[in-house]
Amino acid sequence: MNNDKFALPFYWNDYEDIAMSLYEKFGDDFTEAKIYRIRFTELLDWVLTLPNFKGTREESSEGHLEQIQSAWVYEWRDNQ
């Protein structure tokens, strides 16, 4: 995981950056099917704890979480 203090921050619309960070954090522990079964409340908490993520809980939306979930699946597929 990128803990570089000079790395650029990312926000809710940075779906691919969030997805890459989630893949780095969880690797192949989550398959495509498991990623799509993650509760949004759980996904929201995970995103908020990512290094360099600067968004807030109040700025999140169901649309953001859906996009993150889809991007995470594509990231997982790319690494298979």
pTM above 0.85, yes or no: yes
Give the whole-angstrom CA distance, residue 43 versus residue 76: 16
**Domains observed in the chain:** 15-79 (1.10.10)
pLDDT tens for each residue of 2-44: 556 677 899 999 999 999 999 999 998 999 999 999 999 999 9
Give the whole-angstrom CA distance, residue 5 versus residue 27: 22
Give residue 50's pLDDT. 95
pLDDT tens for each residue of 42-68: 999 999 999 999 999 999 999 999 999
Q: Taking 70 as the threshold, does the pLDDT of residue 1 lie above it?
A: no
Give the whole-angstrom CA distance, residue 18 versus residue 31: 17
